[in-house]
Structure 1
Amino acid sequence: MTTLSKAPVRYVDTPVQLRRLCDRLKDSPFFALDTEFLRESTYHPQFCLLQIAAADQVACVDPIRLPDLDPLWQLLYESDATKVFHAGFQDLEIFHHLHGRLPAPVFDTQLAAPLLGYGDQIGYAQLVEEVLGVTLGKGHSRTDWRRRPLSPQQIDYAADDVRYLVPLYLELRRRLEESGRVDWLSEDFERLTRPETYRNPPQDAWRRIKGTRRLKGRQLAALKRLAAWREETARRENLPRGWVVKDDLLCHIARLQPQNPQQLKQLRGLSDKAVARYGQDICAQVAAACDDAPEKAPPRPPARTPRQEALLDLLSAVVRLRAEAQNLHPNALASRKDLEKFLADPAGSRLCQGWRQQVIGDDLVAFLEGRRHLRVVGGEPVLDEAAA
């Protein structure tokens, strides 16, 4: 355990303090990062606090009080230091939104944990407890991080998110190096630093809406236009998508094809204020969809037969046996969806690429081809070479 748990927390809310902090951190080979943000009433996350730690110090940076964060951006984007996160997607999304690009290289302890036998998508507090034996408090999990001043207790609670991330990273990295698995994570970490990971193209917005399979033809064409319009509107006005029009209402509008705002007023759940604000735009999207080629509903995957389900169960058993032998969490090797995609296209599956091919992909292919088989020995399943 490092001595970081005893280090005082620096609260940084002036330009001088920020420059000094960044000067102290610039030669560190790594630093741990976390953010506090709110997005309940906005489309874009509201950046409220940044926590940062290195081997011998921890600080909370206040982006609300600071006039600019230029020294911090320089540290993040120009340093070769490893930026350590736990479940870093949303933190990195903030950096991408504010600065238009992403810091690299990164290390995510949530992605690393399953390669050492811990649960898939394990939470930070649970991982800290299991690896470091430290139980973190939960007393300020409902804090409104926009409000100032923050209390010493709130600052200390926020600092814990990086205070223990440093020794957690060092321990996980040490174990990964011992097992020769550090490189296994390269592709996953690289994906976190791709700008396209954080983009939401308006033309694809309809894919996130449930209930689209019940729409077809002109209805589905209308939904695609409506979803794209809503995405652009929410982004422009910085509002949650559901504050513009809720998902179920969007589907209902696409189904009914209203021609004017007066018809929109007949829909339950759409307020007069929303009709006045967006009614003309909504009806314009519906009308424009009439000129689009009718859309075919996404095909439903065919129902699997009992034999196909049994085959998936057998492949899952192979995955579990290999995961146990390698001290891996099974989902780190292959989820049920991974196995479904593997059966549909083995060569194109991620299970036959990179490190997964060596650990599980070759075995799955051999099992399907009859070169491996499952049998029971002493009441336990075993994966063996098939007899010649």
Structure 2
Amino acid sequence: MKMITKTAELADACDALLQCDFIAVDTEFMRETVYWPALCLIQAAGGDTEVIIDPLADGIDLEPFWEVMADDRVMKVFHAARQDLEIFFHLGEHLIPTPMFDTQVGAMALGLGDSIAYDGLVRSFLKRSIDKGPRFTDWSRRPLSQKQLDYAIADVTHLRDLYPIMRERLEAKKRDAWLAEEMAVLTRAETYRLEPEDAWKRLKLRKTHPKWVAGLRAAACWREREAQTRDMPRQRVMKDDALYEIAAVAPLKPDDLSGLRGVPKGFERSKPAERLYEIMKTAMADPEAYAPKVEKPTPPPSGIGPTVELLKVFLKLVAEDAGVASRLIATVPDLEKIAADDKADIPAMHGWRREVFGEPALRLKKGEISLALEDGKVVAKDLKA
């Protein structure tokens, strides 16, 4: 196995991949010291075609590969696809591979846990073990050893063999509709857009006063722009705790930053600080308008604790009975909302989730279903049957 380093070689390989009904895809990348993940390797396997593409090769044009990713006749199979898709979205001019299938999501729909690791999936379906030795490789270094290349291509050859088996089991259980919502999130452009103006959503709102929220939005927007422009991790530009301090002060000049513990010494007179003052001036000119509309978090009604605990047990029971990961059905916040409101507008109360869990959960609340211990096992009993 050797890497493809020339555009002509890549075009030939992609022509072969386009003849496949599905292809397995994986990437190797580095992101520890940068904002934008550095794509170091692309692996793909379909039919008898197995390729490793070197995106760092001098002069190589990845356009033939992007064309394969965009071709809706070929299913693209990933495991834990989100980071791969994020890279493709930003390097491939907002490309999102479609149609696509994520085996980690498929595993959830088959009841194999909330986030089963790839090696566990390969062991479960294919009875094979994966050599983990090269997993900490610096994939940006060249040349790569044969052992490293073998490790890289194995990621997609196992995936190629795994997909048909998983697909067959999912179809036998009629789980296609169950997967649709999860896959839809992965193929939505909004999932991968990194708009600086929305960076505040990554932070926990400690207050809801418009001026403070406007200050936090401005500080987060400034940090995101700096991280993107300078290609640095967010935390290296400014720590989260420092952003909260900055939001409280809403600095418009160097003196406003003096004495803040989280702000590096000398930062207040730097070029990045000047850019911070500018965006903060915009925010503070009209904090009410600049601040995003946020609702004050309302604590769950008092007294619902026992109901939530009962719903947790019931969810585990339903998930085991359906053979699906509980997280795919409902989360703890969902259970709190169901406990507080029979008409809660949450995913667990719509579609297949309502049929499997939401409706029975309401019946449990009404006393139409009970939970009991039989031979050491929790069982649900329909009292209206």
Task: Tell me if both proteins adopt one fold, taking TM over 0.5 as the criterion.
Answer: yes
Indicate if the aligned counterparts of 2:208 and 2:295 stay in contact, CA closer than 8 A. Answer: no
2:321 to 321, 325, 345: 325
User: Structure 1 residue 77: deviation in Å?
Assistant: 0.7
Aligned residue number for residue 105 of structure 2 = 111
User: Structure 1 residue 253: deviation in Å?
Assistant: 1.6
User: Structure 1 residue 215: deviation in Å?
Assistant: 6.8
- What do residues 263-317 of structure 1 show as CA deviations (whole Å, max 9, x unaligned)? 4354344143674121222223333333223568752432553x31210111112
Which ranges in structure 2 are unaligned for 5 or more consecutive residues? none
- What TM-score do the two structures reach when normalised by structure 1? 0.90
User: Structure 1 residue 10: deviation in Å?
Assistant: 4.5
Specify whether residues 157 and 33 from structure 1 end up closer, same or farther in structure 2 by C-alpha distance, changes over 3 A only: same
Indicate if the aligned counterparts of 1:213 and 1:298 stay in contact, CA closer than 8 A. Answer: no
Specify whether residues 287 and 73 from structure 1 end up closer, same or farther in structure 2 by C-alpha distance, changes over 3 A only: closer
User: Structure 1 residue 350: deviation in Å?
Assistant: 0.8
1:122-201 alignment, distance < 5 Å: 122-201=116-195
Aligned residue number for residue 368 of structure 2 = 371
Matched, 1:90 2:83: yes
Aligned residue number for residue 5 of structure 2 = 13
Specify whether residues 103 and 364 from structure 1 end up closer, same or farther in structure 2 by C-alpha distance, changes over 3 A only: same
Indicate if the aligned counterparts of 1:31 and 1:81 stay in contact, CA closer than 8 A. Answer: yes
Find the aligned partners of 1:186 and 1:259 in 2 and give their Cα distance: 48
Specify whether residues 343 and 80 from structure 1 end up closer, same or farther in structure 2 by C-alpha distance, changes over 3 A only: farther
Find the aligned partners of 2:161 and 2:356 in 1 and give their Cα distance: 29
Find the aligned partners of 2:377 and 2:274 in 1 and give their Cα distance: 66
Structure 1 residue ranges, 4+ long, deviating more than 4 angstroms after superposition: 294-298
Indicate if the aligned counterparts of 1:48 and 1:145 stay in contact, CA closer than 8 A. Answer: yes
User: Structure 1 residue 64: deviation in Å?
Assistant: 0.8
User: Structure 1 residue 120: deviation in Å?
Assistant: 0.6
1:289 to 283, 292, 297: 283
Find the aligned partners of 2:333 and 2:49 in 1 and give their Cα distance: 42
1:34 to 26, 29, 36: 26
- What do residues 66-92 of structure 1 show as CA deviations (whole Å, max 9, x unaligned)? 521111111111241110000101101
Q: Secondary structure at the match of 1:83?
A: strand
- What do residues 325-376 of structure 1 show as CA deviations (whole Å, max 9, x unaligned)? 2222322322212322434554522112222122212211222233222233
Find the aligned partners of 2:229 and 2:195 in 1 and give their Cα distance: 14
Which ranges in structure 1 are unaligned for 5 or more consecutive residues? 1-8
Indicate if the aligned counterparts of 1:258 and 1:283 stay in contact, CA closer than 8 A. Answer: yes
Specify whether residues 146 and 265 from structure 1 end up closer, same or farther in structure 2 by C-alpha distance, changes over 3 A only: farther
Specify whether residues 341 and 17 from structure 1 end up closer, same or farther in structure 2 by C-alpha distance, changes over 3 A only: farther
Find the aligned partners of 1:385 and 1:233 in 2 and give their Cα distance: 58
Matched, 1:46 2:42: no
Matched, 1:383 2:380: yes
Q: Secondary structure at the match of 2:199?
A: helix
Aligned residue number for residue 219 of structure 1 = 212
Specify whether residues 290 and 328 from structure 1 end up closer, same or farther in structure 2 by C-alpha distance, changes over 3 A only: closer
Specify whether residues 25 and 384 from structure 1 end up closer, same or farther in structure 2 by C-alpha distance, changes over 3 A only: same
Aligned residue number for residue 71 of structure 1 = 64
Specify whether residues 22 and 285 from structure 1 end up closer, same or farther in structure 2 by C-alpha distance, changes over 3 A only: closer
Find the aligned partners of 1:344 and 1:147 in 2 and give their Cα distance: 55
Find the aligned partners of 1:141 and 1:378 in 2 and give their Cα distance: 45
CA RMSD after TM alignment: 2.3
Aligned residue number for residue 314 of structure 1 = 310
Indicate if the aligned counterparts of 1:110 and 1:122 stay in contact, CA closer than 8 A. Answer: yes
User: Structure 1 residue 151: deviation in Å?
Assistant: 1.3
Find the aligned partners of 1:136 and 1:22 in 2 and give their Cα distance: 27
Find the aligned partners of 1:314 and 1:174 in 2 and give their Cα distance: 35
Q: Secondary structure at the match of 1:135?
A: coil
Find the aligned partners of 2:135 and 2:308 in 1 and give their Cα distance: 40
- Larger mean CA deviation between 284-293 and 116-125 belongs to 284-293
Specify whether residues 26 and 288 from structure 1 end up closer, same or farther in structure 2 by C-alpha distance, changes over 3 A only: closer
Indicate if the aligned counterparts of 1:338 and 1:349 stay in contact, CA closer than 8 A. Answer: yes
- Larger mean CA deviation between 280-289 and 121-130 belongs to 280-289
- What TM-score do the two structures reach when normalised by structure 2? 0.90
User: Structure 1 residue 110: deviation in Å?
Assistant: 0.3
Aligned residue number for residue 350 of structure 2 = 353
Q: Secondary structure at the match of 1:319?
A: helix
User: Structure 1 residue 160: deviation in Å?
Assistant: 1.8
Specify whether residues 119 and 247 from structure 1 end up closer, same or farther in structure 2 by C-alpha distance, changes over 3 A only: same
Find the aligned partners of 1:157 and 1:86 in 2 and give their Cα distance: 15
Specify whether residues 235 and 321 from structure 1 end up closer, same or farther in structure 2 by C-alpha distance, changes over 3 A only: same
The number of equivalent residue pairs is 378
Indicate if the aligned counterparts of 2:226 and 2:272 stay in contact, CA closer than 8 A. Answer: no
Find the aligned partners of 2:201 and 2:8 in 1 and give their Cα distance: 47
- Larger mean CA deviation between 291-300 and 313-322 belongs to 291-300
Find the aligned partners of 2:124 and 2:239 in 1 and give their Cα distance: 40
Matched, 1:339 2:331: no
Indicate if the aligned counterparts of 1:222 and 1:285 stay in contact, CA closer than 8 A. Answer: no
Indicate if the aligned counterparts of 1:32 and 1:52 stay in contact, CA closer than 8 A. Answer: yes
Specify whether residues 344 and 34 from structure 1 end up closer, same or farther in structure 2 by C-alpha distance, changes over 3 A only: farther
User: Structure 1 residue 107: deviation in Å?
Assistant: 0.6
User: Structure 1 residue 36: deviation in Å?
Assistant: 0.9
User: Structure 1 residue 188: deviation in Å?
Assistant: 1.5
